[in-house]
Amino acid sequence: MARLLTFTKSNTAKRGVRKKTISDKLRVGSVTLGFITVTLICLLSLFYLYGVNSLATKGYDIKFYEEHLNELKKENQRLKTEAAELQSMRRLKDSVEKLNMVSVRNVSYISGSGSVVASK
């Protein structure tokens, strides 16, 4: 790979000529360390703020959905109460009177003679 990609100080690329690679040592001083430290602190602060913000947002979402759930539970209880009221005997008796129905006084039952229900 070194034959294909070599960083050199010269601008020429002649075949067979040995080129000097860039070998200047990287110097790290107190200014560089300070800059790197400040940069890392800024990045970590941004990640922290992002995490705290997303956590707070999720907290508001959870509170909203809990309130919505409580409203739905109240509505469900109200509907159950209304259904029980509509099915109550008092309500049925009132609706019988409104529809002009009368109660049966003499009930006559048909008793079959034998085991044959229908014949041809």
Q: Which tokens in the block code for residue 97?
A: 């009177």
68 belongs to a structural domain: yes
Please report, rounded to a whole number, the percentage of residues in the chain having pLDDT higher than 90.
Answer: 40
pLDDT per residue over 68-103, tens digit each?
A: 999 999 999 999 998 888 888 777 777 877 888 877
**According to the model, what pLDDT value does residue 41 have?**
97
SS3 56: helix
* DSSP-H helix ranges across the chain: 30-86, 89-98
The domain of 65 spans 30-98
17 belongs to a structural domain: no
Number of folded domains in the chain? 1
Which is nearest to 21 in space by CA: 37, 2, 39, 35?
2
36 belongs to a structural domain: yes
64 belongs to a structural domain: yes
Q: What is d(CA 74, CA 68) in angstroms, rounded to the nearest whole number?
A: 10
Q: What is d(CA 80, CA 89) in angstroms, rounded to the nearest whole number?
A: 16
* Average pLDDT along the chain: 82
When comparing pLDDT for 23 and 109, which is higher? 109
